[in-house]
């Protein structure tokens, strides 16, 4: 089926992006472009790539996927790359400790397909080849995906990880009852707006000593996770932001000498 008559592929093209955080090898960016084209996700964002050169990436992309490399946008940092997305799925090989619920690629894909149909812009975030995403980047994700392998000690190649997640997304989009995207929604909360709320909350909670000033991050991770689970609308978000601001004023007013 040509892509223009394939509503599932059209949905991925319109709503999904692959974000590579600090990729080390230009060749892997090239292979990723080829995998993206194969599965219908044509938007690639590179965040602070190490030593990137389109000349080294091109041959691995093959001539078909080179346009995806030409259109790939490069960002200096993660917040600007993720700014406009309303859902961010991070991929991780590690399963322990601080991390939120981890989805399999198929579970995540079903959820992503539904969200894309609802008008969400979804980013799939992949870490550097050698060490993956750290807790700092993980905290920015609304959901986490881990790819099952037979040998957990050995990692997948970056482009192969991208391929598997996109493959499941394409299958899930094709499995949706109707893969016709709804009109663009304006009531969804972007990544940048979410981060503004977390900053406000962290400021508030440290100023009333709920979070320790020395290390507020740990407590914030739990709050972030709760927030991501809630999936508030824009109206609810504005309400929470308003309450936050009011409380901060009250707290700042408490003792002008502090």
| Site residues (vs a second copy, CB under 8 A) | 1, 3, 6, 8-9, 12, 31, 34-35, 37-41, 62, 64-65, 106, 147-157, 159-160, 163-164, 167, 170-171, 174
Choice between 38 and 248, CB closer to a second copy? 38
Quote the least distance from Cβ 9 to a second copy, whole Å. 4
Q: How crowded is residue 86: how many other Cβ atoms within 10 Å of its Cβ?
A: 23
Residue whose structure tokens are 């004023």? 249
CA atoms within 13 A on the CB side of 146: 15
Choice between 157 and 221, CB closer to a second copy? 157
Angle at CA of residue 34, ends 6 and 149, nearest 5°: 95
Choice between 132 and 211, CB closer to a second copy? 132
Quote the least distance from Cβ 56 to a second copy, whole Å. 15
Quote the least distance from Cβ 138 to a second copy, whole Å. 22
Quote the least distance from Cβ 8 to a second copy, whole Å. 8
Secondary structure letter of residue 93 according to DSSP: S
**Among the listed residues 9, 36, 12, 14, the one whose alpha carbon sits nearest the alpha carbon of residue 158:** 36
Residue whose structure tokens are 């080390």? 24
**Among the listed residues 13, 5, 57, 3, the one whose alpha carbon sits nearest the alpha carbon of residue 34:** 57
Choice between 155 and 190, CB closer to a second copy? 155
Angle at CA of residue 60, ends 113 and 174, nearest 5°: 20
The tokens of 227 are what?
């927030």
3-class SS of residue 17: strand
Choice between 94 and 234, CB closer to a second copy? 94
Choice between 164 and 220, CB closer to a second copy? 164
Quote the least distance from Cβ 89 to a second copy, whole Å. 18
Quote the least distance from Cβ 99 to a second copy, whole Å. 18
- Long-range residue pairs from 201-204, CB within 8 A, at least 24 positions apart, any chain: 201/244, 203/248, 204/244, 204/247, 204/248, 204/251
């Amino acid at each position: 089926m040509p892509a223009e008559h394939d509503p599932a592929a059209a949905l991925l093209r319109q709503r999904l992006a692959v974000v590579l955080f600090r990729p080390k090898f230009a060749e892997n960016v090239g292979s990723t472009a080829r995998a993206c084209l194969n599965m219908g996700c044509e938007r690639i964002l590179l965040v602070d790539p190490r030593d990137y050169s389109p000349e080294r990436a091109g041959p691995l992309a093959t001539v078909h996927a080179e346009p995806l490399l030409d259109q790939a946008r490069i960002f200096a940092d993660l917040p600007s790359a993720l700014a406009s997305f309303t859902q961010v799925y991070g991929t991780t090989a590690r399963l322990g400790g601080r991390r939120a619920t981890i989805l399999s690629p198929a579970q995540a894909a079903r959820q992503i397909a539904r969200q894309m149909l609802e008008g969400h812009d979804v980013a799939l975030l992949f870490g550097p080849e050698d060490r993956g995403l750290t807790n700092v980047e993980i905290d920015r994700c609304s959901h986490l995906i881990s790819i099952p392998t037979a040998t957990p000690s050995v990692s997948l190649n970056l482009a192969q990880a991208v391929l598997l997640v996109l493959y499941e997304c394409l299958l899930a989009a094709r499995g949706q009852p109707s893969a016709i995207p709804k009109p663009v929604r304006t009531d969804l909360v972007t990544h940048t707006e979410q981060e503004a709320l977390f900053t406000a909350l962290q400021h508030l909670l440290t100023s009333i000593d709920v979070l320790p000033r020395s290390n507020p991050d740990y407590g914030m991770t739990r709050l972030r996770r709760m927030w991501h689970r809630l999936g508030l609308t824009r109206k609810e978000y504005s309400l929470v932001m308003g309450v936050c601001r009011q409380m901060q004023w009250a707290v700042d007013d408490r003792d002008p000498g502090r």
